[in-house]
């Protein structure tokens, strides 16, 4: 008989996740191993079923690299860039109506254009009311898509005191595109 692990709050997003040993994302302090396992379950669904894949970019921006905006990790050049770039993508998708493919192109351009210029954005105390738990519990692809969207909106809203900074980055990218 296997023991059921107790639950602990993820060190970043606060979701009650299994207290397990194991890997988390490669950056320091970027989430608990139990949260990483749940996030990987979400990714597996999105890679295996086209109905789930439609919101994959939002899932990535909300949780990965290093669990981006909900799991920013410790202040390092990599995490600074990651959080800024993924917040840019959330802004593009949620506020500007960009599709995921276009947002990814702009993210790539932002990395090339602003590498080394991004600023550390102090993470909010609460990274959003919704977490990986809200997404992994979705019963079907349609509910999954709704929950990922709500999760992304929740995470984006949590960073609202940095929206002016992100809007400035997006504005510079748009101006240079013209």
Q: What is the pLDDT of residues 40-77, one digit of tens each?
A: 898 888 888 887 777 777 777 655 533 578 888 889 99
Task: Give me the pLDDT at residue 116, please.
Answer: 92
What are the pLDDT tens digits along the chain (178 aa)? 667 779 999 998 999 999 998 888 767 678 899 999 998 898 888 888 887 777 777 777 655 533 578 888 889 998 899 899 999 999 998 999 988 788 888 999 999 999 999 999 999 999 999 999 999 999 998 899 899 889 989 999 999 999 999 999 999 998 887 6
- Residue in the block written with tokens 């490669």: 26
Task: Give me the pLDDT at residue 50, please.
Answer: 81
- pTM equals 0.89
3-state secondary structure labels for all residues of the chain: CCCCCCEEECCCCCCEEECCCCCCCCCCCCCCHHHHHHHHHHHHHHHHCHHHHCCHHHHHHHHCCCCCCCCCCCCCHHHHHHHHHHHHHHHHHHHCCCCHHHHHHHHHHHHHHHCCCCCCCCCCCCCCCCCHHHHHCCCCHHHHHHHHHHHHHHHHHHCHHHHHHHHHHHHHHHHHHC
Task: Give me the pLDDT at residue 65, please.
Answer: 38
């Amino acid at each position: 008989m296997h023991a059921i692990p107790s639950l602990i709050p993820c060190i970043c997003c606060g979701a009650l996740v299994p207290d397990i040993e194991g890997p988390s994302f490669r950056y320091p302090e970027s989430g608990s191993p139990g949260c990483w396992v749940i996030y990987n379950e979400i990714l597996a669904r999105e890679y295996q079923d086209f109905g789930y894949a439609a919101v994959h970019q939002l899932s990535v921006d909300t949780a990965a690299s290093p669990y981006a905006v909900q799991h920013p990790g410790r202040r390092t050049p990599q995490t600074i860039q990651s959080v800024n770039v993924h917040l840019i993508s959330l802004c593009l998708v949620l506020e500007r109506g960009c599709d995921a493919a276009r947002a990814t192109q702009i993210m790539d351009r932002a990395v090339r254009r602003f590498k080394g210029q991004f600023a550390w954005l102090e993470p909010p105390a609460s990274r959003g009311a919704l977490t990986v738990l809200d997404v992994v519990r979705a019963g079907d692809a349609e509910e999954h898509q709704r929950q990922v969207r709500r999760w992304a909106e929740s995470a984006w809203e949590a960073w609202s005191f940095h929206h002016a900074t992100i809007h400035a980055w997006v504005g510079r990218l748009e101006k240079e595109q013209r």
